[in-house]
């Protein structure tokens, strides 16, 4: 299991723990200093991106933010940077 954390300047800390095999994410757990409403939607996001590549995750995150879920303290760009950084770090 790997983990990675990201914080943009002036933003909140966001992290992810995950497995990454053959360019596929699994075992995803997103955490950090942010709020989401309704709270259980973070679990839905984790399940939505389970078993996907980074490019597929990008589309899922875009769709998720377009669905009207409210995040406080992070943006869709923060989540995209989180996963991009997670696969870039050795």
Closest CA to 15 of 30, 33, 34, 27: 30
Secondary structure class of 70 (helix, strand, coil): strand
pLDDT for residue 90: 56
pLDDT for residue 65: 87
- Identify the residue with better confidence: 51 or 39: 51
User: Could you tell me the pLDDT band of residue 89, with boundaries at 50, 70 and 90?
Assistant: confident
User: For the chain, which domains are there?
Assistant: 2-88 (3.30.390.50)
Q: How many residues does the chain have?
A: 90
User: Could you tell me the pLDDT band of residue 80, with boundaries at 50, 70 and 90?
Assistant: very high
| Model pLDDT for residues 56-79, shown as the tens digit of each residue | 999 999 999 888 888 898 999 999
3-state SS, one letter per residue, for 5-35: EECCCCCCCEEEEEEEECCEEEEEEEEECCE
Residues with Cβ within 8 Å of residue 41, at least 6 apart in sequence: 69
Secondary structure class of 37 (helix, strand, coil): strand
| Model pLDDT for residues 12-46, shown as the tens digit of each residue | 999 999 999 999 999 999 999 999 988 899 999 99
The first and second tokens of residue 74, run together, are 């992070």
């Amino acid at each position: 299991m790997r983990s990675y954390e990201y914080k943009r300047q002036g933003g909140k800390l966001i992290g992810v723990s995950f497995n990454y095999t053959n360019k596929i994410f699994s075992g995803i757990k997103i955490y950090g200093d942010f709020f989401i409403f309704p709270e259980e939607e973070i679990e839905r996001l984790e399940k939505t991106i389970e078993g996907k590549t980074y490019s597929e995750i990008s589309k899922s995150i875009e769709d998720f933010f377009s669905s009207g879920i409210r995040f406080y303290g992070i943006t869709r760009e923060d989540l995209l940077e989180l996963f991009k950084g997670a696969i870039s770090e050795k």
